[in-house]
Amino acid sequence: MTIIAAREIDEQGCIQLPKELRRVRKWSKGDFIGIYESGKTIIIDLFEKAEEEYCSICGKLKCILRIDDFCFCEICVALLKDEIEDIEQHVNLNGLSR
Ligand SMILES: [Zn+2]
């Protein structure tokens, strides 16, 4: 296990997450952090609930489309639509050349 930082707990029981850790993890204001316990070890990570509410691809935006256990945001749906159209055109072109 590697130590990233040492922080003092303040009067309210708060600690500040290091800026570099937040940057690397892409955690920002409003993200929910879960505090997990594994034996004597405490683990902090994005709260699992966030994965249910946010896009399965980019993980940043809220879902507008759900298919089984996956959800997709507006931007990723548009990107997928473009990809599908490209594949359909490719299939049609190959179909015509035969
Ligand atoms: Zn997305």
Identity of residue 3:
I
Rounded to the nearest whole angstrom, what is the distance from the C-alpha of residue 63 to the centroid of ligand 1? Answer: 8
Render pLDDT for 26-83 as a digit per residue (tens, 0 to 9): 998 888 888 888 899 998 988 765 445 788 899 877 888 988 888 899 999 999 999 9
Give the model's pLDDT for residue 20: 93
Residue 18 DSSP one-character state: P
Distance, first Cα to last Cα, the chain: 59
CATH class (in words) of the domain with range 1-53: mainly beta
Render pLDDT for 8-41 as a digit per residue (tens, 0 to 9): 999 999 999 999 999 999 998 888 888 888 899 9
Stated pTM of the model: 0.44
Give the model's pLDDT for residue 14: 92
Backbone angles phi and psi of 77, in degrees to 5:
-60, -45
Q: Domain ranges in the chain?
A: 1-53, 55-98
Residue 29 DSSP one-character state: T
The neighbouring-strand residues paired with 16 are none
Q: Distance (Å, rounded) from C-alpha 1 to C-alpha 13?
A: 24
Rounded to the nearest whole angstrom, what is the distance from the C-alpha of residue 90 to the centroid of ligand 1? Answer: 25
